[in-house]
Structure 1
Amino acid sequence: MGITSKFIKKRRDYMNIKRKNEEFRIKERNNEKVAKKRARLDYNKRKLENAVNLKNMRRRLKNNEIKEANRKAARLSMNRRLNDPAIKKANIEAAKVSMKKRLKNSAIKKANIEAAKVSMKKRLKNSAIKKANIEAAKVSMKKRLKNSAIKKANIEAAKVSMKKRLKNPAIKKANIEAAKVSMKKRLKNPVIKKANIEAAKISMKKKLEDPDTRKAYKKANSIRMLKRRASSNSSIGSSSRKRCYRVSSYRLHEKEKLNMKRQKWETLLSEYNLKKTQGLSETCVSCSRLRLPSSIIKTPKKLLRQLNMNIGQNDSESVLVCTSCYGHLKKLKIPPLYVGNGFQLNHVPQSVKELNQIERQMVSLRLPFMKVFKCLRGEGQLKIQGRRRSIENSRQRSKRTN
């Protein structure tokens, strides 16, 4: 096949386009080179200008009046610019970045810390600034301590700093006195006192798990007891008499302890017997269950009316509610065993009330089977033991028996 005129034309067009593209690329490269050269020249020019300006500024700033005026002008311009929040944010970010770079140098870092301390001391002489600073520090510390890692590190650092400080006897003594005063103030609150006693017991149990600490504690306790007895028996002369007196005083002390324990048990038993004689005499307004007087709380009617609960007509401002229902009412919730939730019993007619036990069993729809025993310790109290069954009583059987 020969080469046609069309093919030659296409080839020529392709070569022309290729040549034009190459020329365009060469021009672009040249333009880029020219632009880079210009940028370099501009940068060097600016650098020289800045250097000249710096020299001029340094010469001028040797004069204190010009220096002060310059500072004022700079502050005014900065205040104007910082009114714009975007510029303010950008300025803060730039300041942080520059400060990080500068603080990599240890000498600058040290000088910065010293300057910060001096400026803080000057500022804290003003009571208003001091108070505001303390509040801000508390808020920031609370936010930071939400992070568990920071909290742990802070506790460790506090322990280390406290150990260093307590090496000084004067600081140690002052710290102990301050701790005693603060503990006395806190222990006036009975809740804190109770919690403190419980915590002390738990910590003592943990410490006494170690055999060495247990041994040391027993030894210290015995020495303490001997000192106390010695101070009480200082009037007796001979050592043998002292020993006899110590033994007798110890026995008396133990007897007193036993008597105290017996008295406590007797009071507890008397209280229990008193409650038992009262029996289930009180009824809860919410669940209509019989309760002991000790497990009933007087609650205002307003609380029940807020929850749209049916109370009934009473002249008194408060009603009796059991402890289980009171817990839900405190949270402004309707108790789950409230009578209005479908737990209300139907009206029992007088004819059914007059029936005896056997007739009631014949009429009842269900027959319960359970083992009921007398309690050995509780006087007159009963208990259910084993399984309980409820069998349906059909009406046909009752008809047959009749």
Structure 2
Amino acid sequence: MRTNGTPDSPVPSGSSHLLRTINERAALYHLLENDTLTRVELRKLTGLAKPTASQVMLRLFEAGLAVTLGRTTAKQVGPRAEVYSVNADHAFAAAVTLHEPDGVTVAVRDLKGRERASSTRRIDFTAVPVDRAVQNMLGATVRDAEIDRERVAVVHLAVPGAYDADNDTIGYADLPGAPEVRMREAIETYMGCPVTIHNDVNAATVAERRNPAVSGGLVLLWLGREGIGSGIDLTSGLVVGSRGAAGELGYVPIRPDRNGPDDPTYQDWIGAPAVVAIGREHGVRGADAVAVMAAGVKTGADGFIDEYAERVAGALHLLTSLLDPPSLVLGGEIARAGGETLVEAVRRRAGALADRILPSAVYGDAVAIGVLDLAYDDLKARVLDAALPEQR
């Protein structure tokens, strides 16, 4: 059998006293990365000998980590091959998104990566504490999907603010009661599993990794209905800062020499209030900033688009001077409403940065998609770590 590992697996096949565990983890890794595998396919991926592959699969079955789905149906010489799959119900990942000012979304994925349940509700956080609201939504979503709560192995939460993991506090959040809540402690106590909390724009940044045009890292400029921010995903991964506040661009003053409570910030400069104000100056109106942007694009209000695009380009220059990312992505509800029209206008005003600027490639709720991706990746890593203890 091979002892030098497989080129695309993070867990090599080795020849020590841990050989059996290492081989089992290698097989499990490939089952997690592929929908189904036959024993022949598994052997090709792991380099395991035929009897070793059979023993490995037997132990995965006994541990409840793998199942047989039947046999191949293709015409071939000899017996049909058994088809293996990871046991989807072995463990689940839950993801929660808190929306300003009053929304909660919960989604659950099984170990095969399939979404098994999701729900979104509006909740008055002045009447129901935000931690209690999350607990209730998690419990109801898992229960309605007929999933045992004990099988939820990880929960990831995206919040509209900066999460300080050391103190378990949420800052820069316009959610009633959020700064006083120990969110991770509350959810871990309720669910009985590890909880990880992310800034919402960072979660959306993870979703942008799906964009085939992005490689080598990105900075996401989030132009949201409720606020702006930036997500930083470089070669080393997400940059969150020592207190989770990296990327909170909306609170940065436009004039560095002036930082009083009434001095304008980037939220005032390129956030929803700015869109509405610039639109009014150019005769473009709507129910909110997203509607104003959509109306400006639809009516061809070039003056409105150009003035706003110039401000956005300035923010991108600021981010690039600090981070120099290979890609700059425009995301959020305002950017989505502006579409390619806004992207092209920003490019025209961005000079040398033009080729780096990309529209979002995410359809749907980017924050909810990104935090669910984070939860599922964590689930797979934990299953690989916890599976098949070394003493077996």
TM-score range, shorter chain: under 0.3
TM-score, normalised relative to structure 1: 0.21
TM-score, normalised relative to structure 2: 0.22
More strand per residue: 2
Which is higher, the Rg of structure 1 or of structure 2? Answer: 1
Higher relative contact order, chain-length normalized (CA < 8 Å, sep 6+): 2
More helix per residue: 1
